Chains A and B, each alone.
Chain A
Amino acid sequence: MKIHDTPPPRPPRWAQRLLSWYCKPSLLEDLQGDLNEYFERNLKNKGARRARLIYVIDVLKFLRPYTIRKPEFLTLLIHFMMIGSYFKTSRRSLVRNKLFSFINVFGLAVSMSVGLLVIAFISDLFSYDDFHEKKNRIYRVITSHQPAGQREMNFASTSVKAGKSIKESVPGVDDLTILRSGFSGDAAVGSKTLPVEGLWTDPSFLRVFSFPLIQGDPASALREPYSLIVTQKTAQKLFGSADPLGEIVRFDTLNYTVTGVMEDIPKLSHLQFEALVSFQTLELQQARDPNFTSWENIWQNYVYIALPEKSTPEMISSSLDKINKHENAALQQKQISISLQPLKQVVTSGGLSNSIGPTVNASLLWILAGLAFVIILSACFNYTNLSIARSLRRTREVGIRKVIGALKGHVLGQFITESVIISMLALAFSFTLFLVLRKQFLSLDPHLARLASFDISPAMIGYFIGLSVITGIVAGFFPALFFSRVNAIQVIRDSSSLKVFRHLSMRKALIVTQYTISLIFITTTLIGYKQYRGMLTFDLGYTTRNIVNMKLHGNKPDLLKKELAEIPEVAGISKSMMVTSLGSAHGAQVKYEDARDSAMVWQNLVDENYLPLHKHRLLAGKNFALRPKKGEDSEVIVNEELLKRFDIAKRDPEKALGKNIIVDGRKLTIVGVLKDFHYGTLENRIEPVMLRYSADEPWGYLNISINSKDPVATMAGIENAWRKIDKVHPLDAKFYDDQIEEAYSQFSVMIKVIGFITFLAICIASMGLFGMVVFTTETRLKEISIRKVLGASETGLVYLLSKGFLLLLTISALIALPVTYLFFDKIVLQNFPYHQPIGVQVLFSGLLVVMLIAFFLIGSQTLKASRRNPAKVLKSE
């Protein structure tokens, strides 16, 4: 009869616990009894499963105001009165154990400073555009561009037509403004010339956004064509102290009238400009271009709308869908759809192309917050570990407190208070650290310096204190729980019965976690660094060594070329529209024999010197022979990928020569085939590319090959040559290799950030380990002395003391290395088609560094302990 052996079913334990946790003691017993009675009844009628379920539901249903235990006023009062005593004992225990206190405070301070940085960064990003009065009801119109059979792309920009259609046909929009980026030119006032960049926009811009004018009438300032609003800073530069209102500014051949002066734009605004030009100007200039108001022209225009208060974007999204449907009916082979994006998400939603102003991927924020979290947690582990390990001394204090009348809750409160006090102390240090670090952080990358200000606001201080309190609670929770469970009588009667090495497995797990994190960090840094170096030295398919790329700023290349040619170190000069391998791209539509098959092909316009200067490798054919005038080019040099894409001459370079391709409607003959090279960055695969010799677009750059032993002097010579030709713009010339380094600067920033965090993680873990080793050896000093007296050797003792720790380190290495390797091999590096192999030595060099530090810490302490004179130790019993 087995059935009788099994105990009768009981209500779920957790529900019982929940009930006794929340219920008033006066009601508890009767209620428990009632529920038990019903449970037994249900057991008979409905079976064990239903009975348990009903029990749980009932427990939850009884959670009502009249059953809930009120926080006892007395307990709170006692806590309040005892805070003075808590402070006193905390201070004493801090002073008594200077080493442990140092480890705790230092670790928490260092790790929290990272947390402060992340908080400051995130709070900066979220306070972008906060100064606009209508910030919560401004939306940006964004565009999704979906060519048939290709990847969908999302743009922050949209078409002028989208703006106009919404203005005309969508009800329930308070205001709408269209702006267009890309106004730039040299502003001439009298004899002064200054480059100015700005936006074209309409009068409602000043109503939608809160950019106050100091001078001028906001209603009319942008109404007339050729009106110009300048920011205060720009006005100062152009006119000095003179009154700018009504003055004429000359751009090229056109005169603009200053109709307003605007307060300088706050740093945390995603719209940054030096001047605003009336949209009328643009409409006048583009009046004859039908493309200007085309639905497909979505590249440069931005539309912002302000909705009335208490209205949601959903209310007008159906109207937008109607517009999309109407417009897309006329499109072939693609869909262009508009939708709304709240202003407050503009900065934190990366992933939109053609963004105006800075953007940050939300995932980056999560990664940063995650790193800060891990590092703070590691410091919390130290606190937890060391507090529990040193519990012997404090347990007596707790015992006395309990005998005098402290409840569990009081002891819990005391130790949480203590850890919060310590973490507040750490906050003071970490705030100082933060003040130093923020400058370092901002100077990591010019992009970062533009993005964030790290100015301290009262709200931020609040967040900082919040972080510190939470850190204190997390760090102190386990020790507090441990102390609150101490049995007073046992402790006071015989303290040796208390097991010092209790909770050992938890402490071991914490150490293993810390070291696993440290190892993951250090290998990540090393792998990342190797990949980064690999990117910089990658063979792009042409040479970039000793080439200086000089931006022309609209100057005549031939004049400059003549000046530069006089410098003896200049070995050759070529012209190009753009610089490849830096991430920018220019495309054109290309067709081959099949008229329906067209594809976007990246291109660069170059002159006859470009290929030899960059040592591009021609597989077949030769360099450009003709020197065409504007609109007359007929030759093209393509790469292997292009042959592959259109299957030209069965991909045979020799046979492809003489074939014609159609580029933007013009027939071009292939005169050469290049070996594949990297037109984009190494994050992308090599795609079809062509080089053209064309006068259609102005040259953008001069590529100057230099043969010099003293690059600084040569650059000075180049600067002189530039000064002779252009007196307005500063020289913008950089070594190609430096430009490539800049193109990958995001990786270098990432590696620096992770490297720094790695350093902290290792420091914190090492300090924690050190504390534990010191503690263990001190408690086992007598054991060691006795062993020594009995004849144990020093090496034997060192081995005995350190083998436990070494085992822990080995376990963390066994977890960390495979995890990191797989993460990079299977996930991260899959996104980089041209990455370097990870390499065993990279994996193990990180391990080696961490292990050496750990060995040193363990070895020095255990050796010290094993060399103590046993007679002295044993004498002082």
Chain B
Amino acid sequence: MKGTNLGEFEELVLLTIAALVDEAYSVAICDELEKHTGRSAKLGVVHAVLNRLEEKGLAKSKLGDATSARGGKRKRYYEVTHSGKVALTRSKEVRESIWRIIPGFNLEGSI
């Protein structure tokens, strides 16, 4: 069993899956990530991460219906599993608990 710890990029991808709800398939995830992060998300990287998330049991997938787009090939839609949701929540909690102990964090002050 691989570790269930979320890497930074893994977390982003998993969040995007959750955000896209019913439209979460590889190309859409790439586009969404690009939109939010401003970095280009390469399909190769995203595909590998999706594959890893599924292996870890944080996401699950199923093939959609065939359409005439994409050369007649079906899309694989992703969905966050229960343990995926737990992992996301936990990681958010960890961050927030650390945020809370930073005294008087001020973005302007550090600049």
Contact = CB atoms under 8 A, between A and B. Distances in A.
Interface stretch (B3-11, B42-50, B100-108): B42-50
Contacts of A66: 48, 51
Contacts of A35: 43
Contacts of B47: 31, 34, 62
Contact of A29 (B43, B44, B51, B74): B74
A30 interface: yes
B27 A34 contact: yes
Given A32-B70, A37-B69, 9 more contacts: A27-B51, A29-B74, A30-B63, A33-B71, A33-B73, A34-B70, A36-B71, A40-B70, A58-B43
B43 A38 contact: yes
Contacts of B43: 34-35, 38, 58
Contact of B63 (A29, A34, A36): A29
A64 interface: yes
A125 B71 CA distance: 58
Nearest to B52: A66
A61 interface: yes
Nearest to B51: A66
A37 B70 contact: yes
A36 B27 CA distance: 11
Contact of A30 (B48, B69, B74): B74
Interface in A275-294: none
Interface string B1-28: 0000000000000000000000001110
A40 B71 CA distance: 9
B27 A37 contact: yes
B48 A33 contact: no
B70 A36 contact: yes
Interface in B71-91: 71, 73-76
Nearest to A35: B43
A158 to B, nearest CB: 57
Interface in A8-61: 27, 29-38, 40, 58, 61
Contacts of A58: 43-44
> Nearest 6 CB-CB pairs, A to B?
A33-B73, A30-B76, A33-B70, A36-B71, A36-B70, A32-B73
Range for the number of chain A residues in contact with chain B: 10 to 19
Contacts, number: 45
Interface of chain A, main secondary structure: helix
A336 B51 CA distance: 66
Nearest to B45: A61
B73 A30 contact: yes
B10 to A, nearest CB: 15
B44 A62 contact: yes
Nearest to A65: B48
Contacts of B51: 27, 66
Interface of B: 25-27, 43-44, 47-48, 51, 63, 69-71, 73-76
Nearest to A10: B71
B17 to A, nearest CB: 15
Interface of A: 27, 29-38, 40, 58, 61-62, 64, 66
Contact of B75 (A30, A40, A62): A30
A38 B27 contact: yes
B74 A33 contact: yes
B44 A33 contact: no
Given A29-B63, A30-B26, A66-B51, A36 B44 contact: no
Contacts of A32: 70-71, 73
Contacts of B70: 32-34, 36-37, 40
B90 to A, nearest CB: 26
A64 B49 CA distance: 13
B44 A34 contact: no
In the complex, which of the residues B25, B51, B70, B75 has the most CB atoms of chain A within 10 Å of its own CB atom?
B70
Nearest to A34: B26
Contacts of B48: 64, 66
A12 to B, nearest CB: 14
Contacts of A34: 26-27, 43, 47, 70
Contacts of A37: 27, 69-70
A23 to B, nearest CB: 11
Contacts of A27: 51
Nearest to A16: B71
B56 to A, nearest CB: 13
30 contacts: A29-B63, A29-B73, A29-B74, A29-B76, A30-B25, A30-B26, A30-B63, A30-B73, A32-B73, A33-B70, A33-B71, A33-B74, A33-B75, A34-B26, A34-B27, A34-B47, A34-B70, A35-B43, A36-B70, A36-B71, A37-B27, A37-B69, A38-B27, A38-B43, A40-B70, A58-B44, A61-B44, A64-B48, A66-B48, A66-B51
A581 B25 CA distance: 85
Contacts of A40: 70
A450 B106 CA distance: 90
In the complex, which of the residues A27, A37, A58 has the most CB atoms of chain B within 10 Å of its own CB atom?
A37
Contacts of A62: 44, 47
Contacts of B63: 29-30
Contacts of A36: 70-71, 73
Nearest to B70: A33
A62 B26 CA distance: 14
B76 to A, nearest CB: 4
A35 B63 CA distance: 16
B28 to A, nearest CB: 10
A798 B7 CA distance: 81
B16 to A, nearest CB: 16
A58 B26 CA distance: 14
A39 to B, nearest CB: 8
A29 B25 CA distance: 13
Contacts of B27: 34, 37-38
